[in-house]
Structure 1
Amino acid sequence: MSGVRSYGDPCGVARGLDVIGERWALLVVRDLLLGPRRFNDLLGGLPGVSPNVLSQRLRQLTEQGVVQRRDLGPPTRVHLYELTEWGRALEPILLQFGRWGSQSPQMPEGALGVDSLLLSVKASFDPARAPELAGTYAFHIDADTILAEVAEDAVQIRRGTVPDPDATLTTDIDTLRAVCGSEITLPAAVESGALRLTGDEDAQRRLTALLLSPFTPAPQPATP
């Protein structure tokens, strides 16, 4: 495999690291979990990676069978990168790894991207809340459209559209970060015009509860 170093260890952990252990590789996988992306979309969502390094990681992940490239052809001539079935099998591993990593005392100064924010929703989802949050919700964030569907005991989040979501949130990434980071309340963002909610009142409430669940501190027990 071109340019890939191996641990030379038959253990499954070492073999897995041979595939996704290079720097940026796992973050490329993370940013493809919600659906296909163009090269420039991936580049914009990974601050600090150079075009050359990203090209190399995509090539390696493609050669390893984790990622595949899909060419839309004329007239668009757009190349999309997406996870293979084997690559998608990394999702529960990445979500669990994200839960573990969120406990780290170190907090870099970088800003969370759209994918990271919405994957936090999926990683922290409580299946017991599925009945009260059930529905289909659309998030229009800048040029991105992402769907969240809560049914049975799970939430599915992916890029795409549906004709009639129960509720829709429209905003930009800076406002979304500010709301999730408690720098501004959601009602204040709505009042300012930076964020718009549509759908009936109950569906808007469910969308809001779903979105903010990872960023809302758990209630503390009363002190005796």
Structure 2
Amino acid sequence: MEVDEMATARTYGDPCAAARALDLLGERWALMIVRELLFGPKRYSDLQAGLPGASPTVLSQRLRDLEAGGVIQRRRMGAPIRAWVYELTRWGHELEPILVRLGRWGSRAPMTQAAGTLGADSLMLAVKSHLDPARLGDLDATFRMELGEDVFTLRVAAGELTIQRGEPPQWDAEVRADTAVLKALVIDGASVAEFGDRVEIGGDGDAFQRLLEALATG
């Protein structure tokens, strides 16, 4: 294991606000943990699954650092889950627009050969990063997005999109697909018709098409 991955409590010793932010978030995997928690709480095992490149030792240390810094918190969920989960604090949630903008900036960076497949949370961030709100028009709709075992609620209203992990109480359109298909639709600009039964759309398919058309691909 790299020595710098084990270092903790490092600081730039610089009073600049950007430097103080990097004291909290500059360690490897820190922002990736924030990405995994943007749309709702997760158990430790879920974080491990979403960040397979992080060793258990490093992941545990980053979680402790982020909790100590007030970015995340740990709490016990009640029935029916009855498990300890990690979630962003209110202050931690303020990082969402920063990660969205970082995703837009990073979309122009070259893809490395070692790059793996995009996970469900990465794709939800990609939806927000690629979205051009001006293209939403008067769309007002709730979407149930099912990606394997992951379910998200996407809500569009007043030219804004919010995303949350979990089942919506009601929805206008339901979309079932695998992550490769959604990546092609969101990032590559592919059309639904290209994938046949690999993508299932129930309810208001026109609303989902309008959402896709509001994504700035390429």
Note whether the superposition's TM-score is higher than 0.5: yes
SS in 1 for 2:162: strand
1:197 to 198, 201, 204: 201
The aligned counterpart of 1:39 is 44
Question: How many angstroms does 1:105 deviate by?
Answer: 3.0
Contact 2:36 2:47 (C-alpha < 8 Å) held by counterparts: yes
1:105 to 88, 110, 134: 110
The aligned counterpart of 1:136 is 142
Within the alignment, does 1:173 sit opposite 2:174 as a pair? no
Amino acid at match of 1:51: P
Contact 1:132 1:206 (C-alpha < 8 Å) held by counterparts: no
1:17 to 12, 15, 22: 22
Amino acid at match of 1:195: V
Question: How many angstroms does 1:87 deviate by?
Answer: 0.4
Task: Determine what percentage of the aligned residue pairs are the same residue.
Answer: 45
The aligned counterpart of 1:206 is 207
SS in 1 for 2:164: strand
Which stretches in structure 1 are left out of the alignment for 5+ residues?
218-224
Which stretches in structure 2 are left out of the alignment for 5+ residues?
1-6
Amino acid at match of 2:96: E
* TM-score, length basis structure 1: 0.84
Question: What is the Cα-based RMSD across aligned positions, in Å?
Answer: 2.3
1:63 to 68, 87, 112: 68
* TM-score, length basis structure 2: 0.86
Q: Quote the Cα distance in structure 2 between the aligned partners of 1:174 and 1:16.
A: 34
Contact 2:50 2:119 (C-alpha < 8 Å) held by counterparts: yes
Q: Quote the Cα distance in structure 1 between the aligned partners of 2:61 and 2:9.
A: 10
Choose 72-81 or 88-97, whichever is displaced more.
72-81
Residues matched between the structures, number: 211
Q: Quote the Cα distance in structure 2 between the aligned partners of 1:45 and 1:76.
A: 19
Question: How many angstroms does 1:125 deviate by?
Answer: 2.0
Within the alignment, does 1:82 sit opposite 2:83 as a pair? no
Question: How many angstroms does 1:78 deviate by?
Answer: 1.2
